[in-house]
Amino acid sequence: MSKYGYEEAFSAEFYDPVTSKRLHDVKFWLDYAQKAGDRTLELACGTGRVLFPLAQAGITITGLDYSVYMLNICRQKLAQQPQDIQARVRIIQANMANFQTSEQYSLIIVPGRSFQILITPAEQESCLHSIAGHLKSHGTLIIDVFHPDFPRLYDPKYLQEFDRTSGVKLADGRTVDVASRIVAYHKDMQYNEVEEIYYVHHKDGRDERLVQSFPFHYFFRYEMEHLLRLCGFKVIDLFGNFDKSPFTNESREMIFVAEKA
């Protein structure tokens, strides 16, 4: 199996502080969960960035994630929620490429481009077969992947660090910046090796540089349509953004809404 991101304790620890403003997609997922009106499964739920707003809005949701560190934080946050919200949430540690829960779902979602950590078609197909096995017959599957920003598939300038954030202050007084860089392009297998670099500034003046590296598959539109079809799904909608705007040349996202064929 390939090496996943988010296996390091620090990337779980910094996830919430650095993504605290990342709410652009929550309403989209909530709309579909409300329409489904039944149990939702979220793959790669992480620390619950999407899971908690949905549970707070009344959705019964199961979150699955591979990282014990991410789930520890998710469970700590869950413990602070009111009883009725806790009752609606179930958390499972498992590999999204091959999972088995005891439930069937009306809606299965893979937010935040997590499907892209599955590098090989074999892993992707295995994940989709697991999903098909847990989706009710008229259920909906929604997967969000990025629409490749093409220069990032070849331009050597991305081998240098880019997109460095301005520091986020943590509760304990430390400050964290995050930057990204591409370590290697693998156009033959459609993935980039990526680094997320955390610069931590401690209260005592010490500086630390922590690197999370992981491979990330990039998908193209028809590749994804064919892959879904091969695994027994039919695409019913393709959006270019979370406002449900149509997919265009310049779209940042590819959001596939599918049902069993």
Partner 1 sequence: MSKYSSGYEDQQFVAELYDPVYDQLARRDIELFVDCSKKANDKTLELGCGTGRVLIPTAQAGYEITGLDLSPYMLEKCREKLAGQTKDVQSRVKLIQGNMTKFSLGELYTLITIPFRPFQHLITIEEQKACLKCVRQHLKPNGLFVMDVFHPYVPRLVDPKYLMEIEVDPKIDLPDGGVLRRTTRVAAFHREEQYNDIEIIHYVKYTDGREERLVHAFPMRYFYRYEMEHLLALCGFKIVEFFGDFDRSPFTADSPEMIFVAEKVA
Where on the chain is the footprint of partner 1 (CB under 8 A)?
121, 147, 150-151, 153-154, 185-190, 220-223, 225-227, 229-230, 240, 247-249, 251
Give me the least distance between CB of 217 and partner 1, in Å please: 9
- What element of type H or E holds 182? strand 175-186
Give me the least distance between CB of 71 and partner 1, in Å please: 31
Nearer to partner 1, 150 or 243 (CB): 150
Nearer to partner 1, 67 or 190 (CB): 190
For every residue of 45-69, DSSP letters joined together read -TTTTTHHHHHHTT--EEEEES-HH
CA distance 140 to 25: 17
Give me the least distance between CB of 224 and partner 1, in Å please: 9
Give me the least distance between CB of 254 and partner 1, in Å please: 9
Nearer to partner 1, 151 or 173 (CB): 151
Report DSSP state, residue 209.
E
Q: How far is CA 40 from CA 36, 83, 110, 164, in A?
A: 8, 19, 11, 34
Nearer to partner 1, 70 or 145 (CB): 145
Nearer to partner 1, 69 or 239 (CB): 239
Give me the least distance between CB of 131 and partner 1, in Å please: 17
Report DSSP state, residue 174.
-
Helices (H) and strands (E) in the chain, counts: 7, 11
Nearer to partner 1, 29 or 216 (CB): 216
Torsion sign over Cα 41, 218, 2, 71 = negative
Q: How far is CA 260 from CA 97, 122, 125, 229, 254, in A?
A: 18, 19, 14, 9, 19
CA distance 198 to 178: 5
Q: CA geometry: angle at 33 spanning 54 and 147, to 5°? A: 95
Give me the least distance between CB of 147 and partner 1, in Å please: 8
Give me the least distance between CB of 228 and partner 1, in Å please: 9
Range 116-154 burial, b when 16+ CB lie within 10 A, else e: bbbbeeebbebbbebbbebbbeebbbbbbbebeeeebbe
Nearer to partner 1, 10 or 247 (CB): 247
**Tokens matching residue 231:** 């695994």
